Amino acid sequence: MAAAWQKEEPEVQEILQRYPQRRSAIMPLLHLAQERRGGYLAPEDLEAVGEVLGLTVAEVESVASFYALYHRKPVGRYVLTVCANLSCHLSGARELVRHLQQRLGVEPGQTTRDGLFTLEVTPECLAACDQAPAVQVNGYYLHRVTPRRADELVEALRQGRSPQELAQRSQLPPPVGEVHADGAGGL
Amino acid sequence: MGQAAFEPVLTAGIGRLELENIEVYESRGGYQALRKALRSMTPAEVQKEVTDSGLRGRGGAGFPTGRKWGFLPNDGRPRYLVCNADESEPGTFKDRLLIERNPHLVVEGVLLAAYAIGAARAFIYLRGEFRQGYEILSRALEQARRRGYVGERILGSDFSVEVVIHRGAGAYICGEETGLLNSLEGRRGEPRLKPPFPASVGLYGMPTVVNNVETLACVPFIVARGARWFASIGPEKSPGPKIFSVSGRVRRPGNYELPLGIPLRELLWEHAGGPLPGRRFKAVQPGGGSSPLLVPEQLDVPMDFDSVARVGSMLGSGGVIVLDDRDCVVEAARILTEFYAHESCGQCTPCREGLHWLARILARLESGGGRPEDLEVLRSTPPFIAGRTICPLADAGVGFLRSSLQHFPEEYQAHVQHGRCTREAKTA
User: B3: pLDDT confidence band, cut at 50, 70 and 90?
Assistant: very low
Instruction: Find residues 70-89 of chain B whose CB sits inside 8 Å of chain A.
Output: 78, 87-89
pLDDT for the residue A139? 97
Chain A residues whose CB is inside 8 A of the B252 CB are 173, 176
Bridge partner list, B285: B321
Bridge partner list, B241: B259
Give the residue from chain B lying closest to A49, CA to CA.
B186
Q: How many CA atoms lie within 13 A of B49 on its CB side?
A: 26
Q: Do A173 and B204 touch (CB under 8 A)?
A: no
Flag whether pLDDT at A178 surpasses 90: no
Q: Average pLDDT of B366-378? A: 94
pLDDT for the residue B120? 87
B113-147 residue pLDDT tens: 999 999 989 999 999 999 999 999 999 999 999 99
Nearest CA to CA, how far is A47 from chain B (Å)? 15
Instruction: Give every CB contact of residue B4 below 8 A, 6+ residues apart in sequence.
Output: none
- Say how many Å lie between the first and final Cα of chain B, rounded: 45
User: B427: pLDDT confidence band, cut at 50, 70 and 90?
Assistant: very low
Flag whether pLDDT at B55 surpasses 80: yes
| Mutation target among B79, B127, B131, B347 for the A interface, most CBs of A within 10 A | B131
A67-106 residue pLDDT tens: 999 999 999 999 999 999 999 999 999 999 999 999 999 9
pLDDT for the residue B216? 98
pLDDT for the residue A180? 53
Degrees to nearest 5, angle at CA B48 with B47 and B51: 90
CA distance B19 to B104: 7
pLDDT for the residue B426? 47
Q: Average pLDDT of B271-294? A: 97
Flag whether pLDDT at A179 surpasses 60: no
Q: Edge to edge, what strands does the sheet with B162-167 contain?
A: B162-167, B121-126, B80-85, B208-212
Nearest CA to CA, how far is A49 from chain B (Å)? 11
Q: Do A86 and B327 touch (CB under 8 A)?
A: no
Q: Do A125 and B89 touch (CB under 8 A)?
A: yes
B252-268 residue pLDDT tens: 999 999 999 999 999 99
Complex ipTM: 0.95
pLDDT for the residue B428? 38
| Mutation target among B95, B184, B187, B347 for the A interface, most CBs of A within 10 A | B187
CA distance B260 to B406: 28
Q: Do A172 and B254 touch (CB under 8 A)?
A: yes
AA identity, residue A129: C
Q: Average pLDDT of A110-130? A: 98
User: A184: pLDDT confidence band, cut at 50, 70 and 90?
Assistant: very low
B100 touches chain A (CB under 8 A): yes
Give the residue from chain B lying closest to A19, CA to CA.
B164
- DSSP-derived letter for residue A131 is G
CA distance B357 to B47: 46
Flag whether pLDDT at B186 surpasses 90: yes
